Structure 1
């Protein structure tokens, strides 16, 4: 009979020992930074109702979710996003908590990422959410927390680009397009497809001055000074100018923290997440062609759960962050001293105090389960054991030389 082969589904992966050690180090450091900024950890369930994520202004594409039917006939999904469950928890279970409310999490999310060639389906996200701060102070704090969190791990060449959903929405409102045409142009804008945008502008007879800005938007990115200076040469509505002023103030606050060197602006930034309402941002490093960080303001989301509360936050994709740190050779797990205790003629209780003392020093201490000297030597080499010892009845430790 042919032996059955077991394969992993597309888009998921096993993590072996070294990768698990790296992930633990990264997540612990991120959580430490979050805690230092006053954020408190909570967790949401893996399974949620499908409707939670598909009613506007939730996620844009329900086809990318993993669905199932529960015993009551309700459609469930494996959590495709962390922000929406956080908003649900706050509105239904933490409404009377002290505000501003600072929450953080480390969770798995499950959805098909069609933007990446490998189409990952399971991600590890670490993020924070700030509820109850409507001013640019909240946007600035979220950005600073995100940047500080990544820098605490030694990430280099970080670029964080900012956009503003109100700038785009105000501009598209001035174009007076049908919804279908608007969505087509937004998709082209997300793809930076200038030719396609030019064709759509001609087809829909967009006024010349507005068409000039529309066609320029895919390339309207760069340093804050460059972009803000250029966009002022176009005809802007009052709402567009207000959004730009918010961007400017947010950037100035981040600069006061000494972190302005990594900031840029992308006025053509479009998000697949429909709940964003204000400043949005994406972070990446030139060493990895993928977005590591994303976030922004979502002031209307909690209203879907009956609570009037402003909010902003971000998520870091731990899988991609780990890959970037590996490429930069900036992530290492310090090796702990590894001690192997040779089989003792005394019972474990008699040597327990000595073993506990060794472990209290931060060492890895394990009892040898092998008897053959050659196998013990091989085990020590392959597990990188530093010392082989025997504990005497009086508790003294004797080092053993296996050479």
Structure 2
């Protein structure tokens, strides 16, 4: 095995990668904080009992680890279950709602990228139009701060979609759900199911497009008339957040099965950069008495955002403001003291020491290539000459 090769599914972040990642995270964090959300940190390592979320997160998606006491442990494949576990009982004694945000790594046992970075929010103990509206408007605010232009918000309703799936015979639901989840229209057409069921499943798959057009399609389908209350709610939500860049997709199904209400994702090009939704039963799984709290949230995929933002991101690492150059070993102490004074100046500055004794031309070339603005030359007699590059 080559010791120089990074493990499959993870990657190193070099200084410019880190600068760009931090730029994304700082913009998102500013938005979260200005909307009143507070940072929470949960462990990367949790018991499988916590991570499986009562069977709603598939165990095969978790990178599992055996602890010394043989208890099944795993690396978190998402953040919401851990936050639900941390806050399920605390909400009994805290004022509601709780607005929380997080930044951190998640790990999934899939081919390809196994470790990804996320930032997200959870609005715990809040329901209804105001809570769902706040979540989606915060999502829009994040997009504006990131200056991303090419995107669509795909909006669905897990309750609506599940109600339609449950109108089908039990033995047909899973294959129909699998085809819809994978957007496999050909596979759906080839299923060995009654023609009426197949027609309705295909109609469900077609409930995607501009909100007004989808609402019109729904009203033309008599077999979903009993879901008009959910449609009316979605209409009110779209009116609240605005239908600009919103695609209504009533066949949208998320990977994790704990969602109970609205679900949504943000797509830019071929990248899914954000996902979220409402989960009104999840906290009850972790509460000692089974008490639950309605909640909603979303996460950003930092790597996917990085791919989409391109030239918007910083294109180089921050340059030093000063390069301090001792011209003789005898004045190293003077040079370090001067660098320290510069760092403690009224305006905090980046100050770099030049550690090699090179020619003036080489030092100037280095400063110019690194974008350093000023040089402080420390002469052998201890005097200092400052130069703007």
Regarding TM over 0.5, the answer is yes
Which residue in 2 is equivalent to 1:18? 16
Correspondence for 1:139: 132
Report deviation, 1:368. Answer: 1.7
Counterpart of 1:245 in structure 2 is 232
Q: In 2, distance between residues paired with 1:161 and 1:138?
A: 18
Q: Distance in 1 between matches of 2:91 and 2:68?
A: 29
Q: Distance in 2 between matches of 1:104 and 1:55?
A: 20
Q: 1:321 aligns with which of 305, 328, 333?
A: 305
The equivalent residue for 1:194 is 185
Structure 1 residue 222: Cα displacement: 1.0
How far apart are residue 384 of structure 1 and its match?
3.1
The C-alpha deviation readout for 1:32-77, integer Å capped at 9, x for no partner, is 1000000000011010011222253521x32122111111110111
1:277 alignment counterpart: 260
- Pick the aligned partner of 1:90 from 82, 87, 92: 87
Question: Residues of 2 paired with 1:8 and 1:133: CA distance?
Answer: 43
Question: Is 1:170 the equivalent of 2:163?
Answer: yes
Work out whether residues 25 and 333 of structure 1, in 8 Å CA contact, stay in contact via their aligned partners in 2: no
**Structure 2: distance between partners of 1:243 and 1:38:** 29
Q: Corresponding residue for 1:302?
A: 283
| Partners of 1:126 and 1:318 within 8 A in 2 | yes
Q: CA deviation at 1:333?
A: 6.0
The yes-or-no answer on 1:339 pairing with 2:332 is no
User: Whole-Å Cα distance in 2 between the matches of residues 305 and 341 of structure 1?
Assistant: 57
Write the distance in 2 (CA, Å) between the matches of 1:83 and 1:278. Answer: 15
Q: 2:40 aligns with which of 13, 26, 42?
A: 42
The equivalent of 1:205 in structure 2 is: 194
* Cα RMSD (Å): 2.6
The TM-score, its normalising length taken from structure 2, stands at 0.90
* Residue of structure 2 in register with 1:368 after alignment: 354
* Secondary structure of 1:342's aligned partner: strand
8 Å CA contact retained: 1:170, 1:237 = no
Q: What is the rounded CA distance, in whole Å, between the counterparts of 2:92 and 2:102 in structure 1?
A: 19
Note if contact 2:342-2:349 (Cα within 8 Å) is conserved in structure 1. Answer: no
Contact 1:354–1:396 (Cα < 8 Å) also in 2: no
CA contact (8 A) 1:166 1:240 kept: no
Q: What are structure 1's unaligned runs of at least 5 residues?
A: none
What is the aligned partner in structure 2 of residue 311 from structure 1? Answer: 295
> Relative to structure 1, is the Cα distance of residues 189 and 269 closer, same or farther in structure 2, using a 3 angstrom cutoff?
same
Aligned residue pairs, count: 380
Give the counterpart of 1:110 among 102, 107, 110.
107
Write out the 4+ residue segments of structure 1 that deviate beyond 4 Å after TM superposition.
333-337
**Kept after mapping to 2: 8 A contact 1:22/1:322:** yes
Give runs of aligned pairs for residues 349-360 of structure 1, distance below 5 A: 351=338, 354-358=341-345, 360=346
Q: 2:64 aligns to what?
A: 67
1:223 aligns with 2:210: yes
Bigger CA drift: 381-390 or 362-371? 381-390
